[in-house]
Amino acid sequence: MPDANPRMRPVICEVAPRDGFQSIADPLPTAEKIAIIRALADAGCPRIEFGSFVSPKAIPQMADIAEIAAAVKDVPARLSALVPNVRGAENALAAGVEEVVYVFSVSETHNRNNVRQSVAQSLEGLEKVKAALPASVLLRVDLGTSFDCPFDGTVPRTAVLDAVASVAAIAPEAEIGLCDTTGRANPFEVAARFSAAMAIGAASGNGWAFHGHDTYGQGVANALAAWSVGVRVFDTAAAGLGGCPFAPGATGNTATEDLVFAFNEGGLDTGIDLAALLAVADRIAALPGGVTGSHLRIVPRDRVA
């Protein structure tokens, strides 16, 4: 029986419209993006990261982000948008976004490749973003390469904890996401790093989220390891669409349907209609240029139920 205690309910943050769509080179029709976001919300996804306010030169797929923001304000989901700097945050606020996700990488090499600055400069940027946000706007901080860097390999745990401590000091109310950018993490390290990070952030009251990829087939296992130590928010992408353009070798995000199925089988209710979600995943998988990695989609639908 699903646990009725909302504190025990896993919360899915659907990131296909951001992390997934950005992995597709050719721009998708704006109307199709909007329709998919609406369909994900209608399937019961409680949180959706619907895009990013970045330079269209860097990620052309996000050139229509302001138009999308205006079109999805009424969907029944908590919406957020990624920003890499204060200019992105200001553009998001101008578009009426009520939750921003500030991102930087723990790995110096990846951070310079991804956002073109050092980790220290990104932390300075976080201070500026926080100062620019009105109290009504929620803030999440994603720490990319919290486990592995595509350029430098395994990221030292101490570097991750130092980054967490810095973020907690700057933004004690923010949700902090540890991101397995390359999908190279394993369940044991996920549990260990979150346990250590959450101990640092306990005094400040930060919330926690796990952003996983399924490159090595560990996406669901890693999410369940995070759940076991108290993480309650999980980034996933319907159909397993995704992959970081600045992380060579990284494949798609953990498929939303795969993790929802795992939670369902464990008696934990995500509030998501799995049949409706699979229908949206099929639609996403049909997008030209996308690479998907869902396991559940290939199972006969009568067996999924």
Q: Which residues are catalytic?
A: 244
Torsion sign (Cα): 304, 13, 74, 285: negative
| 130 C-beta neighbours (distance < 10 Å), count | 18
Torsion sign (Cα): 185, 187, 189, 195: positive
Contact (CB, 8 A) for 291 and 254? no
Q: What is the helix, strand, coil percentage profile of the chain, to 5?
A: 45, 15, 40
Residue 36 to residue 51: CA distance in whole angstroms: 12
Measured N-to-C along each axis, helices 187-201 and 219-228 cross at an angle, to the nearest 10 degrees, of 40
